[in-house]
Structure 1
């Protein structure tokens, strides 16, 4: 019998509309059910965060609850060295506001069924490797080398993590207060230097020095804004005082004009009486 001329098709990556590549996920090697991850290269022009480089960040959709950040690091390490992994309950820009807080001071995260993830690789060549992974070759989450706890074991682990050791808590608090004191000292030193640079002389003049070529204009400091506000308040008070004295002067002028008019009417009556008596001699 002649061999069949039909060639077996080579397994290829599955790409769906929207540019997402479908990765098959399997909890363990003995599991029958499979889960689908949807990955895409993260390219958001409006985001300028250094935590998510546009050429090395992978956006992951449909992440199951048993897949933690550590598990994602192990899953995607086969495509290249992973720099960081971030899981969120909804996609959005990364916001860096204030000092980084320890897990002891963060509110409890709400449990979600499916979440989103951002995987940052060390090399940009890892992104095409992930997107070209065959769909029929699943990624195994739980192995003997990397076990993942689920069910009652996961709940016990979460309950155990809620207990805080006093020595660890004290260490975190001391580190936070040290950073806080350093930031306060830097802020006070900066305000002191700005106050010295913008200090007024006896006549109210501020010395302005010319910076180096190409230097940007220095924004107004808080101390300068306070001095400007105080000047405006003093100017407003002087204006109100001047208006008060002007009002007094205006009333005085009105009274003087009224007296002059009264005297003028009295003079007219006296002249008319003299004319009637023919005793008015103006010359």
Structure 2
């Protein structure tokens, strides 16, 4: 891909189309090559989350694979106090659902260029990062905070992959305690909902004074559905009896009409034989 054409004066920030500011950085002080980061103030109005405040969050693109969250925090700490650093494979909303899992239970992360969200304590830090001159390169690995890359990085990650049994046991115990606590809280919540949503035989929910009517729980909806099914069956049975009664009445009327016709024929025959004496 052809490099972007950037126009900037010495000591001035480099801004490219899209509103991104280009930061030039090198791995260490002896590196002859440099890497470029693209930063921009995070202004996604549709994202309603407290983890990324719109006035204090910096959106960063093209973060190299050897940069960890700690390295990014140290690199941008010169612009101000950092509250949090979040690295992701792709831009998107922050995920807060579910408990935070230990690295032991998380799948391995993809190795590649990432995007980052840096939350500063003050909004002035975002402006300071955007005003950083392009010709003043940022150094990632220093003597005070070295960053491993290449073979050294893989060796370090290989060593870190081994966890001592006692440490692993502590992680498992902590996870299970949190899981049991969440399970007990969920059971207690369902129990309270069931007590507050006791229904009578006709499906009414009793609401006591000082309490608000809450939406039905899954168990309450299931009971209501079963009651509706029983009502439907009773209605079908009642309709069957109604049809049977109506059919019986029709048969009785037909029988009466038949007897009436037979009586008419017998009376006509008696009249013809002059044996009919009504008085």
Instruction: Give the TM-score band, short-chain normalised.
Output: 0.7 to 0.9
- The answer to whether the aligner puts 1:231 opposite 2:227 as a matched pair is yes
SS at match of 2:226: helix
Q: Which moved more, 1:252-261 or 1:142-151?
A: 252-261
Could you say which residue in structure 2 is the equivalent of 1:22? 22
Matches within 5 A, 1:149-228: 149-200=148-199, 206-211=205-210, 218-228=214-224
Give, in angstroms, the shift of residue 218 of structure 1.
3.1
Could you say which residue in structure 1 is the equivalent of 2:249? 253
Note the alpha carbon deviations across 1:93-123, whole angstroms, 9 max, x for none. Answer: 11222111111111122222x2211111122
SS at match of 1:39: strand
Cα 1:237/1:140, change in 2 over 3 Å: same
Q: Is the 8 A contact 1:37 1:62 kept in 2?
A: yes
Matches within 5 A, 1:1-283: 11-112=11-112, 114-200=113-199, 206-211=205-210, 218-282=214-278
SS at match of 2:104: helix
Q: Which moved more, 1:193-202 or 1:136-145?
A: 193-202
Could you say which residue in structure 2 is the equivalent of 1:4? none
Cα 1:254/1:203, change in 2 over 3 Å: closer
Q: Is the 8 A contact 1:191 1:223 kept in 2?
A: no
Give, in angstroms, the shift of residue 210 of structure 1.
4.5
Structure 1's unaligned 5+ residue stretches are 1-8
How far apart, CA to CA, are the structure 2 residues paired with 1:104 and 1:278? 115
Note the alpha carbon deviations across 1:112-165, whole angstroms, 9 max, x for none. Answer: 2x2211111122211001011001001111111121111111121222233233
Q: Is the 8 A contact 1:38 1:62 kept in 2?
A: yes
- TM-score of the aligned structures, taking structure 2 as reference length: 0.88
Give, in angstroms, the shift of residue 242 of structure 1.
1.4
Structure 2's unaligned 5+ residue stretches are 1-8
- TM-score of the aligned structures, taking structure 1 as reference length: 0.87
Cα 1:151/1:10, change in 2 over 3 Å: closer
How far apart, CA to CA, are the structure 2 residues paired with 1:240 and 1:165? 68
Give the aligned length: 271
How far apart, CA to CA, are the structure 2 residues paired with 1:82 and 1:248? 82
SS at match of 1:104: coil
Q: Is the 8 A contact 1:81 1:123 kept in 2?
A: yes
